[in-house]
Amino acid sequence: MQPWRLITNSSSNAFYNMAVDEAIMILHSKNEVPPTLRFYSWKPAALSLGYFQKTKKEIDYQNCQKEGIDLVRRLTGGRAILHDRELTYSLIIREDYKLLANSIEKSYQQISRGLVSGLQQLGIPAELKAVERGKKAPLGHSAACFDAPSWYEVILDNKKLIGSAQRRKNGTILQHGSLPLTMNAEKIFKLLNYSSEEQRKKARRTFSLKSTSLKKAGYNFSHSELENAIAAGLAQVLGIELEKSKLTEAENELAKKLASEKYKSQNWNFKR
């Protein structure tokens, strides 16, 4: 297998971040760029919605604007994530490479094993959420992603540490996920709609019990330390070779177009 690209130290707004992931996915599906592992962060902070979420029903857009929080819909499923002080990863590879399982659940497990391996190299005792026989995967009780870890997600102290989502399109896999360095539950739940303040408080309490961040767990690592360790963990578990690189001119141009015409548009972000 050809070496993968490793792209690091990128900080952009929500619209460009999501556009870059899709641009890589499109051009990799055409075999114009290699499989890619990318790390990035968000500036300014943003709330990303899962592809199927109902914006007006679930999100308080006025509060997002008031708090200076960008709102963007992801290409992937799942629930809302507040991206603030965090490290985000994305992994893109065509299915015909046959590196990841055909099953979304099994491929999710493979990637999570790599994430866990990387965190453990830093002395963080992360684990995979084990499947409990006879039980359905936890679905959570709110519009927020981190309120319950599902099977094979990365946990720490039995709390969800990394929230990930996957999309398969045109024979290509995109998985991206959020590793919070810190987490502000109060801020997150200001941005979500509830029928009463009591419901909001109850959801926030559950979220605080079921989720964690590196700082909450007592760890303080830089982006570069986390990137290096997680890249090494994924390379080891998946059996791949990584070479540092950057986006091509074609990817940059496509990402700018997607950011402007799709990810910034009300049609996309309020399509449901």
> What residues act catalytically?
145
Q: Please, is 158 exposed, middle or buried when counting C-beta atoms within 10 Å of its C-beta (0-12, 13-18, 19+)?
A: exposed
Any long-range contacts for 263-272 (C-beta under 8 Å, 24+ apart)? 263/14, 263/15, 263/16, 263/18, 263/19, 263/72, 263/73, 264/15, 268/73, 269/49, 269/55, 269/71, 269/72, 269/73, 270/55, 270/56, 271/55, 271/73, 272/52, 272/53, 272/54, 272/55
3-state secondary structure of 257: helix
Query: Which residue type does 223 have?
Result: H
